[in-house]
Chain A
């Protein structure tokens, strides 16, 4: 009886000891995009947060400023900085998802201390325009395993862009 129990114990230990549960996944190729943000002029005093926010569709009504329409929100950009390189796969608040078309990529600045994702808490300070036609908003499609660069945005505090409704 003792021997049998010992054998069962050793066998059990062996079987359990072979398995180590979950393992790190292989790092997938980078997905997303990056770019340089250039700030021109003096930063306003009433800014609490600055982030890159990418919407699936342009903001036509205040209601379009909602989480369903948001495709990416970056970490905060330090106040007063002149240049900033952002990468969508580095510390995002809301990561960019594959197969998403982003048609309105902006630099959004909050004008309240603890902002929520609602239109009245944010101001658009800069917009990504189509490099081939700077009168049109630029678009970026997030494709699995592809990392796009040079999605650059200029923020000119002396010449702010047109604001979405409300």
Chain B
């Protein structure tokens, strides 16, 4: 298989070199500025009708080499800014320089997304619900881990570190995610538990985060059953930039005196240093960071060191290779649940002194070939090394390697069709004293065609076939089709509808776990099958120019063979089994508006969920019925004041068996949640000082709440940070 891949790449390379000799090119270079003529970081620059483009660096600069000679339309886009299209003429072997100024506007109908179809699409072309977060939004809120930012996205709720999009997941410790996390389009989950490791994402290297709120298995396969999150890292441009960020803060005293377990203030800090430069035809970014958190809870500390390296070598204008290393090592205390409600920030004595140490890194090696101006090949390879061990009685440890290759092609033959297709292979091996030592092989084929059926109507159809074999005897074949329709009634109103199948293969931890938890035996279940879903969605997006944007979606997710831990008290064991048939019906409404000359921005989201376990006739665990988000900011000169508010109702159902058995004392204690965060930003670039200063208060009213049984959510904290460019 590998040999065939290499031959194909070689063939493409040779053919392409021949093709290039016939074409004539020039260079497009430029700078993108905001409304105050300050550099815009991470703006997308795209030559229309071609598959070539770039993104601006931290100085707002970009460079596209190998642009065909002639007249072109070049599109500039960025989350939070009005899209701009300019005419450019490229001359043979000459550099054309452009300066573009973009105006902030969040009322956009045509934001650009790459995750929904593996190529750039305007929002108006996507038949499913999507959202995005920009790097500015992360900085402004002093985000230290990506999951903190995702908590502020409409339709998403987190249970501890497990993400749920529109109710897709509850909480099962160490047993896989129902949302697929991608880093630059490449899956990023551990080979043993299938968990998302939020600590591994370098916040400072993020350009934007795209969120697909529907099953994405027709393109991405397993784990995308509940949606996809794609972290897009910053791209290179021609200039050298050194970036630093220093962040510090502390937790306030708990609201109730009896919860105050520590005499000293609990601090946290984060230091980041990053350098980007161009050496010849290669772009290079190296960054290092250190993070330390005392935590507001006893024995929940973290100390983490991370290293990031990214290099892109332009072999010639149509071929490039990218190498990426992203690694982290950390030690954190173990805190599973509280001692009781009077000791809500202290774990039971048995957990005190327990810790987990980890070493995790992923390496990507990608090759990209622009075979012709409408054909782009990508050959992407990744390796995820995951190693952790703890000091519990069982001395749990697990080491896993997950290796993956993908060859894909984007082919836009004419104005009518946009085709993407690919083949994937993966191999994982686990060495662990709790998950045994299984190996797994995965193979997949996928294809999708976006057809402009009518002038205003787009039809997207796709299919992915996944083959999985675990331990040479557990074999499964999954067919995941999808269909989507997108109709632009006029410039203001877009109507969309979609249907698709999702699936998630059981992880090695669900198949082969063999350990003891709190005296209860966990047994393997090698007969576990994949869980699957059918997702249906219909939605509309209505925009009144310069005033508001309104989005409404209704959805129905039918879930089959859901994998849940099953407790057999008579035989004293827990085993993962396909136990649940569930239905999640709901709606999501989002309203965005700008008032007072665009100085005041208001973003409101409401999600209603009816997440029902059809087998046992009760609400699914950890799914709120009502989720409300409100975000607002006011900008005056170089100062911006923002507020984020979240509400969700009292969770209908949690892990009641842990309460009944007395394992988590007062574990039934929970209430509705009101959370308010404040942020204040000073953009000193406006004063020609290359610094930005941020101040945030999280949980302003020190509201006491739980996301997960026996775990008090973060109490009020104060954070101050400075980021700058040298």
* A residues with CB within 8 A of B: 1-2, 5, 13, 16-17, 19-25, 27, 66-68, 73, 75, 91-97, 114-118
Q: Which residues of B contact A68 (CB under 8 A)?
A: 569-570, 572
* CB closest residue in chain B, given A92: B662
How far is A96 from B349 in the complex, measured between Cα atoms in Å? Answer: 17
Q: Which residue of chain B has the shortest Cβ distance to A19 in the bound complex?
A: B674
Task: Give complex CA distance A17, B701 in Å.
Answer: 5
Are A117 and B669 touching (Cβ within 8 A)? no
**Knowing A21-B703, A21-B705, A67-B569 touch, does A91 contact B344 (C-beta < 8 A)?**
no
Question: A93-B350, A93-B519, A114-B393 in contact; A22/B571 too (CB < 8 A)?
Answer: no
Contact A21 B350 (CB under 8 A): no
B676 x A94 contact (CB < 8 A): no
Which residue of B350, B520, B705 is within 8 Å of A117 (Cβ)?
B520
Give the contacting residue for A23; candidates B394, B570, B571, B704; CB below 8 A.
B704
In the bound complex, how far is the Cα of B702 from the Cα of A96, in angstroms? 34
Contacts of A91 in B (CB 8 A): 348-350
Report how far A9 CA is from B356 CA in the complex, Å.
43
B393 x A75 contact (CB < 8 A)? no
Contact between chains at B703 and A66 (CB < 8 Å): no
B661 touches A25 (CB 8 A): no
Q: How far is the CB of B297 from chain A (nearest CB, A)?
A: 15
Indicate if the CB atoms of A25 and B516 lie closer than 8 Å. Answer: no
Q: Tell me if B516 and A66 are in contact (CB < 8 A).
A: no
- Chain A residues with CB under 8 A of B521: 116-118
Residue-by-residue, is B71-110 near A (CB-CB < 8 Å gives 1, otherwise 0)? 0000000000000000000000000000000000000000
Instruction: Report the separation of the CA atoms of residues A58 and B712 in the bound assembly, to the nearest whole angstrom.
Output: 40
Q: List 11 A-B contacts (CB under 8 A).
A: A20-B701, A22-B669, A23-B704, A24-B259, A24-B344, A25-B669, A73-B519, A94-B519, A95-B662, A116-B516, A117-B572
Q: Please list the residues of chain B having a beta carbon within 8 angstroms of any beta carbon in chain A.
A: 255-256, 258-259, 340-342, 344, 348-350, 393-394, 515-516, 518-521, 569-573, 595-596, 600, 645, 661-663, 665-666, 669-674, 676, 701-706, 712
CA distance A1 to B661 in the complex (A): 55
Partner of A118, one of B256, B570, B572, B703: B572
Chain A residues with CB under 8 A of B663: 94-95
Q: Other than A19-B703, A68-B572, give 19 A-B pairs with Cβ distance below 8 A.
A: A13-B676, A16-B674, A16-B676, A21-B673, A22-B705, A22-B706, A22-B712, A23-B341, A24-B342, A25-B669, A66-B569, A66-B571, A91-B349, A92-B662, A95-B665, A96-B662, A114-B515, A116-B572, A117-B519
How far apart sit A17 and B341, CA to CA, in the bound complex (Å)? 22
A67 / chain B contacts, CB cutoff of 8 Å: 520, 569-570, 572
A112 CB to closest chain B CB (Å) equals 11
CA–CA, A91 and B256, complex, Å: 23
Q: Which residues of A contact B519 (CB under 8 A)?
A: 73, 93-94, 116-117
* Closest residue on chain A to residue B392 by CB atoms: A114
B-chain residues with CB within 8 Å of residue A117 when the two chains form the complex: 519-521, 572
Complex CA gap A68/B702 in Å reads 41
Q: How far is the CA of A22 from the CA of B668 in the complex (A)?
A: 11
B394 neighbours in A (Cβ, 8 Å): 114
User: How long is the Cα–Cα vector from A1 to B670 in the complex, in angstroms?
Assistant: 37
Residue of A20, A22, A97, A115 near B341 (CB, 8 A) is A22
Contact A24 B570 (CB under 8 A): no
Q: In the complex, which residues of chain B have a beta carbon less than 8 angstroms from the beta carbon of A25?
A: 340-342, 666, 669
Interface residue from B342, B570, B645, B676 paired with A66 (Cβ < 8 Å): B570
> Is A24 a contact of B258 with CB atoms below 8 Å?
yes
Distance between Cα atoms of A92 and B569 in the complex (Å): 18
Q: Is the CB of B516 within 8 A of A114?
A: yes
A73 to B520, alpha carbons, bound, how many Å? 12
Q: Which residue of A lies closest to B596 (CB)?
A: A2
Chain A binding site: helix, strand, loop or mixed by DSSP?
loop
Complex: A130 Cα to B200 Cα, angstroms: 59
Q: In the complex, A95→B712 CA distance in Å?
A: 22
Chain B proximity of A144: nearest CB distance (Å): 13
* Chain A residues with CB under 8 A of B702: 20
Shortest C-beta distance, A121 to chain B (Å), equals: 10
Q: CB distance A24 to B703 under 8 Å?
A: no
CB contacts (< 8 Å) of B570 on chain A: these are 66-68
Measured between alpha carbons, how far is A92 from B661 in the docked complex, in Å?
A: 12
> What CA separation (Å) do A67 and B672 show in the bound complex?
34
The residue that B670 contacts in the complex, of A13, A19, A22, A97, with Cβ under 8 A, is: A22
Q: Shortest CB–CB separation between residue A98 and chain B, in angstroms?
A: 10
Given contacts A2-B596, A16-B674, A97-B662, contact A22 B572 (CB under 8 A): no
Q: A2-B596, A91-B348 are in contact. Are A16 and B706 (CB under 8 A)?
A: no
Give bound CA distance, A92 to B259, whole Å. Answer: 21
Q: Are B518 and A93 in contact (CB under 8 A)?
A: yes
CA distance A73 to B571 in the complex (A): 17
B603 to chain A, nearest CB (A): 15
- Within the complex, the shortest CB–CB distance from B294 to chain A, in Å, comes to 22
Cβ-defined contact, A24 with B341, below 8 A: yes
Complex contact A21–B671 (CB within 8 A):
yes
Contacts of A96 in B (CB 8 A): 662
What's the minimum C-beta distance from B514 to chain A, rounded to whole angstroms? 10
A75 touches B350 (CB 8 A): yes
Name the distance in Å between A48's Cβ and chain B's nearest Cβ: 9
B572–A66 touching, CB < 8 Å: yes
- What is the CB-to-nearest-CB distance from A84 to chain B, in angstroms, rounded to a whole number? 15
Who on chain B is nearest to A51 by CB? Answer: B519
Q: How far is the CA of A16 from the CA of B572 in the complex (A)?
A: 45
What distance in Å separates the Cβ of B323 from its nearest Cβ neighbour in chain A? Answer: 42
- Shortest beta-carbon distance, B354 to chain A, in Å? 14
Q: Which single residue of chain B is at the shortest CB-CB distance from A27?
A: B342
| Cα distance A33–B230 in the bound complex, in angstroms | 55
- Whether B569 contacts A20 by the Cβ 8 Å rule is no
Q: Which of A20, A27, A115 contacts B704 (CB 8 A)?
A: A20
Question: What residues of chain B lie closer than 8 Å to A92, measured between beta carbons?
Answer: 662
Task: Write the chain A residue with the least CB distance to B257.
Answer: A24
Counting from the closest, the 3 A-B pairs by CB-CB distance are A95-B662, A21-B704, A116-B521
A102 to B8 CA separation, bound complex (whole angstroms):
72
B703 touches A20 (CB 8 A): yes
Distance in angstroms from A29 CB to nearest chain B CB is 14
Residue from the set A19, A20, A24, A94 with the largest chain B CB neighbour count within 10 Å: A24
B residues near A22, Cβ cutoff 8 Å: 341, 669-671, 704-706, 712
Question: In the bound complex, how far is the Cα of B705 from the Cα of A68, in angstroms?
Answer: 32
Query: Closest chain A residue to B572 by CB distance?
Result: A67
CB distance from A99 to the nearest CB of B (A): 13
Q: How near does chain B come to A152, taking the closest CB pair, in angstroms?
A: 23
Q: With both chains docked as a complex, state the minimum distance between the C-beta of B256 and any C-beta of chain A, in angstroms.
A: 6
Measured between beta carbons, the chain B residues less than 8 angstroms from A16 are 645, 674, 676, 701, 703
Instruction: Tell me the smallest distance from the CB of B86 to a CB of chain A, in Å.
Output: 36
Contact residues in B for A75 (Cβ distance below 8 Å): 349-350
